[in-house]
Amino acid sequence: MESNKDHPHHSPGHGHPSSEKTTAKFFDHATARRIDTQCVIATTLKRQYPNLELTIAPLFSSNLLGFAAAGHATVTPLTQDLGSDNQYPTSLSTTLYVPPPRRINNSPGFLVRETIFAKYMLKWQDKEFLLYIADGRDGEQAYPQVKNNYILAPSTHLSESLLLAAGKWSDALLDEIWVFDGGWWQKSRELWESIQSASWENVILDEGMKKTIIEDHLNFFNSRETYQRLKVPWKRGVIYWGPPGNGKTISIKAMMKTLLDREDSVPSLYVRSLVSYAGPEYAIASIFSKARQMAPCYLIFEDLDSLVSDSVRSYFLNEVDGLKSNDGIFMIGSTNHLERLDPGISKRPSRFDRKYLFPNPDLKQRVMYCKFWQNKLKSNEAIEFPDVLTKKIAEITNDFSFAYIQEAFVASLLAIARDSKEKEEVLARSGIEDDWERLTLEDSDVSEDGDDDGDDEDLDKYVLWVEIKKQVAILREGMEHED
């Protein structure tokens, strides 16, 4: 029979002289040179609660406070005085300021509290647990952090059940996308929100190429049994390549949204960098380990040539070709510089099997994009934008990417705008992906040779035409210098 002081109901600070030993020990220890703080905390807790079982779980893998904040458990801070002399604080934390994600929103930002030491009563499924959270760094160690949950319960089984429930919750995606950055996987609500408006209807591509890309992806995720029947690995990789600014990123986002909206929803995993305190080999192993766990999934390496450099090439190929099964993983890589990729990555089937070129837009596609801008400016009474300008602007922007045409429009509209408020509106509405109207090649009534019905019109009476000619000339000069 356990003593009253060992039961979670009789938590530290309830008047028992020995109930503050762990807190005192932590703060005593923190004032001197420390060696293995985790052992000090663990042994002190075992002495203080001999009839309770101790389970230690790293904070990064078991976010019990987040689990409780989501409504799956309740936590109560234990903040009783620590003795008559008040020698120690009841908890210790730092408060970090995080700036707003968008400065123009006039948000003051927000504060994040980082726990260094704290203790709680946690209740889950009518069971009570004592929970200590303590920073376990030693000496001058700064990174990686060693911060643990110290869970005290009548049995290890109860603590492990709690950890399994919290782990399952933390691994689930709730309107989020997994992003690998800084050496670990993080959930991104911002990226999830950014793909909600992405649609293939908003992607200006050759219709045949667009159809092929969509079918390539969907056929893969619909064909698991076919791959198994043929006894070939159920994995695939494609590369989007071509000059920057021609729809590679928006196509990836449109596919992410398409796969997410399937009845058998396919999650996307986005790799932002391979930087890791443990080295690139650990980062790449973590990336593919997560992809195997989430399979079937869509694994995205944007700017593939920058991510998979010569120094990490062998690690990357080992994970792609290694003994572990990559069934269900569809890899997508994008690059502006296909020639920079190692031929072992770009030219060998079974790694990246197909390459799609995203070239600069042809005349019809440029007309379509000019019509998009015409649509945006319908409500602007100060700028005349007749149909004839969509054709003429498309003609003078040959060899331009969509990004360059966008820059020509934005720079022209900023030059025309009369005040700062109007300039802000131009910038706010200048995104290439935000609200494209549904356009198809059939919407364009201009032929490939550029014939139109407005050649004889005096276009210089339109201020937009005058300004955009200037901006196109400036951009073209910059392009020539780059060459």
Considering 318, 333, 357, which residue would you say is the last residue of a domain? 357
Q: Are residues 205 and 128 part of one domain?
A: no
Confidence at residue 468, expressed as pLDDT on a 0 to 100 scale? 92
Q: Determine whether 126 is exposed, middle or buried from the number of CB atoms within 10 Å of its CB (0-12, 13-18, 19+).
A: exposed
CATH of the domain at 279: 3.40.50.300
54: β partners: 152
Query: Can you give the pTM of this predicted structure?
Result: 0.72
Query: Tens digit of pLDDT for each residue in 375-385?
Result: 888 888 788 89
Inform me whether the pLDDT recorded for 395 exceeds 50: yes
- Taking CA atoms, 247 is separated from 202, 352, 358, in Å, by 10, 19, 7
75: β partners: 122
113: β partners: 95
Q: Are residues 94 and 48 part of one domain?
A: yes
Q: Are residues 107 and 80 part of one domain?
A: yes
Query: Tens digit of pLDDT for each residue in 269-316?
Result: 999 988 877 788 889 999 999 999 999 999 999 999 999 988 889 999
Confidence at residue 327, expressed as pLDDT on a 0 to 100 scale? 94
Q: Are residues 194 and 160 part of one domain?
A: no
Local structure of 224: helix, strand or coil? helix
Q: Are residues 250 and 163 part of one domain?
A: no
Domain total for the chain?
3
Local structure of 315: helix, strand or coil? helix
Asked if residue 181 belongs to a domain, the reply is no
Range of the structural domain that residue 468 is part of = 363-482
Q: Are residues 205 and 152 part of one domain?
A: no
Confidence at residue 84, expressed as pLDDT on a 0 to 100 scale? 37
Asked if residue 179 belongs to a domain, the reply is no
Query: Tens digit of pLDDT for each residue in 249-271?
Result: 999 999 999 999 999 999 999 99
* 75, 110, 98, 424: CA torsion to nearest 10: 150
- Taking CA atoms, 439 is separated from 202, 368, 428, in Å, by 7, 7, 22
Q: Are residues 218 and 347 part of one domain?
A: yes
Query: Tens digit of pLDDT for each residue in 136-169?
Result: 877 655 555 678 999 999 999 999 999 999 999 9
Local structure of 215: helix, strand or coil? helix
Inform me whether the pLDDT recorded for 68 exceeds 70: yes
Asked if residue 242 belongs to a domain, the reply is yes
Q: Are residues 459 and 330 part of one domain?
A: no
Q: Are residues 258 and 161 part of one domain?
A: no
Range with lowest mean pLDDT among 19-23, 31-35, 321-325 = 31-35
Q: Are residues 221 and 104 part of one domain?
A: no
Q: Are residues 377 and 350 part of one domain?
A: no
Q: Are residues 193 and 147 part of one domain?
A: no
Range with lowest mean pLDDT among 68-72, 103-107, 370-374, 443-447 = 443-447
Q: Higher-confidence residue: 83 or 209? A: 209
Asked if residue 107 belongs to a domain, the reply is yes
Confidence at residue 32, expressed as pLDDT on a 0 to 100 scale? 63
Angle at 433 (CA atoms; ends 334, 202), nearest 5 degrees:
90
56: β partners: 150
Considering 144, 172, 200, which residue would you say is the last residue of a domain? 172
Considering 357, 383, 411, which residue would you say is the last residue of a domain? 357
221 dihedral zone (left: phi>0; alpha: psi -120 to 50; beta) = alpha
Asked if residue 115 belongs to a domain, the reply is yes
What percent of the chain shows pLDDT beyond 70?
81
